């Protein structure tokens, strides 16, 4: 176990980088972040004639995330705490799932299905704000593309009152049959309909135009022509004064942990050029169509657009 007291963050980062190349687990003893109120990050603190550099708990959680680790607290007292960095298995990600039936890579038995974005505080708070921004309580036809197990509808259910919820018609579309079956059982009410369908061929369903379209982490999937599909949604499937909420993943899920930063091919670190290129395309296109566009979020970037016609 390594004890850090007065060492700089520069030294700590290089220590972790070197140790995690040869170890899967590291124990550190550090100053208890709750040692004193009104102390700033990086300030010196004297404890029993020992000099420490103060660091809050977020510092250690950020370090764990940067180095693809899960952080746990082994023990804690009034003076110090012992924290454990457990290295994540980067191969344990839904992106690496192998399934003979490609439609079920995101199905009920998949790694992806185990992810509950509604328990990620950053995602949930940003999504709630997006729903409030589009005035969800006034919507009548909601279309969700890439619905999976319908977590986004669950948030709407919790956000509006029951009377309002029952007046909204919800439509969810996904390519996974088992995910759609799960969503149907979750929301058996008459104002819900779910389809197993390829969203490349959305016209085949002959759906009523929606006054709110939601799509979280779907439009950028391989096999979809992102720009053409996005423009078709706005032109053919959204009411003239409708709204849209798009969630762009700026993270990876590894061993059940959410790790900040979009992963691009041929880069060992987070590289976000493609992400921002797609976000900017949508923003510019919607503004030309007379929509007010906002960008919020962290692990997921939320593009929210409301008509100003």
Do 64 and 105 belong together in one domain? no
Query: What backbone phi and psi angles, to 5 degrees, belong to 304?
Result: -120, 130
Do 150 and 60 belong together in one domain? no
Do 167 and 291 belong together in one domain? yes
Q: Are 150 and 214 in contact (CB under 8 A)?
A: no
Query: What backbone phi and psi angles, to 5 degrees, belong to 181?
Result: -65, -40
User: What is the rounded average pLDDT for all residues in the chain?
Assistant: 93
Q: Are 5 and 15 in contact (CB under 8 A)?
A: no
Position 100 scores a pLDDT of 56
Q: Please compute the mean of the pLDDT values over residues 273-302 and round it to a whole number.
A: 96
Nearest C-alpha neighbor of 212 from the set 124, 287, 142? 142
The domain that contains 259 carries what CATH number? 3.40.50.150
Count of domains forming the chain = 2
Position 12 scores a pLDDT of 98
> Which pLDDT tens digit goes with each residue over 204-237?
999 999 999 999 999 988 788 999 999 999 999 9
Rounded-to-integer distance, Cα 123 and Cα 191, Å = 26
| More confident call, 270 vs 102 | 270
Domain boundary among 59, 87, 115: 87
Do 63 and 115 belong together in one domain? no
| More confident call, 270 vs 246 | 246
Do 158 and 276 belong together in one domain? yes
Position 91 scores a pLDDT of 77
Nearest C-alpha neighbor of 94 from the set 82, 80, 107, 111? 111
Q: Are 264 and 271 in contact (CB under 8 A)?
A: yes
Position 115 scores a pLDDT of 92
Do 100 and 249 belong together in one domain? yes
Rounded-to-integer distance, Cα 14 and Cα 63, Å = 11
Position 103 scores a pLDDT of 54
Do 219 and 99 belong together in one domain? yes
Determine which of 94-98, 160-164, 179-183 has the lowest per-residue pLDDT on average: 94-98
Do 106 and 191 belong together in one domain? yes
Do 112 and 247 belong together in one domain? yes
Q: Please compute the mean of the pLDDT values over residues 253-259 and round it to a whole number.
A: 92
Position 102 scores a pLDDT of 55
Domain boundary among 31, 61, 87: 87
Do 47 and 182 belong together in one domain? no
Task: Indicate the pTM of the whole model.
Answer: 0.93
Do 65 and 158 belong together in one domain? no
Q: Please compute the mean of the pLDDT values over residues 45-62 and round it to a whole number.
A: 96
| More confident call, 179 vs 265 | 179
Q: How far is CA 137 from CA 148, 163, 211, 246, in A?
A: 23, 10, 12, 18
Determine which of 18-32, 43-57, 217-231 has the lowest per-residue pLDDT on average: 217-231
Domain with 17, as residue range(s), is 2-87
Do 76 and 180 belong together in one domain? no
Q: Please compute the mean of the pLDDT values over residues 289-306 and round it to a whole number.
A: 97
Position 134 scores a pLDDT of 97
> Which pLDDT tens digit goes with each residue over 83-141?
999 999 987 787 777 665 555 788 988 889 999 999 999 999 999 999 999 999 999 99
Domain boundary among 87, 122, 143: 87
């Amino acid at each position: 176990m390594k004890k850090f007291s007065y060492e700089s963050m520069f030294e700590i980062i290089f220590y972790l980088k070197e140790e995690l190349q040869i170890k899967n687990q590291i124990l550190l003893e550090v100053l208890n972040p709750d040692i004193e109120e009104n102390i700033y990050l990086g300030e010196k603190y004297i404890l029993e004639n020992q000099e420490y550099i103060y660091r809050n708990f977020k510092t250690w959680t950020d370090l764990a995330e940067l180095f693809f680790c899960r952080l746990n607290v082994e023990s804690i007292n009034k003076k110090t705490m012992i924290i454990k960095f457990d290295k994540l298995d980067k191969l344990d990600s839904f992106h690496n799932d192998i399934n003979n039936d490609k439609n079920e890579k995101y199905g009920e038995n998949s790694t992806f299905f185990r992810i509950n974005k509604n328990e990620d505080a950053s995602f949930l708070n940003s999504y709630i704000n997006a729903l409030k921004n589009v005035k969800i309580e006034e919507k009548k036809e909601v279309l969700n593309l890439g619905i999976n197990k319908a977590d986004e509808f669950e948030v709407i259910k919790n956000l509006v009152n029951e009377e309002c919820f029952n007046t909204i018609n919800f439509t969810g579309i996904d390519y996974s049959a088992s995910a759609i079956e799960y969503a149907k059982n979750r929301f058996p009410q008459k104002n819900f309909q779910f389809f197993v369908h390829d969203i490349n061929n959305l016209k085949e369903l002959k759906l009523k135009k929606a006054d709110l379209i939601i799509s979280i982490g779907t439009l950028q999937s391989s096999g979809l022509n992102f720009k053409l599909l996005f423009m078709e949604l706005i032109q053919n499937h959204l009411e003239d004064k409708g709204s849209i909420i798009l969630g762009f993943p700026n993270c990876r899920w590894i061993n059940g942990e959410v790790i900040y930063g979009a992963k691009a091919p041929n880069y060992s670190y987070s590289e976000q050029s493609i992400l921002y290129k797609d976000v900017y395309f949508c923003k510019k296109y919607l503004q030309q169509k007379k929509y007010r566009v906002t960008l919020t979020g962290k692990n997921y970037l939320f593009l929210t657009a409301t008509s100003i016609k």
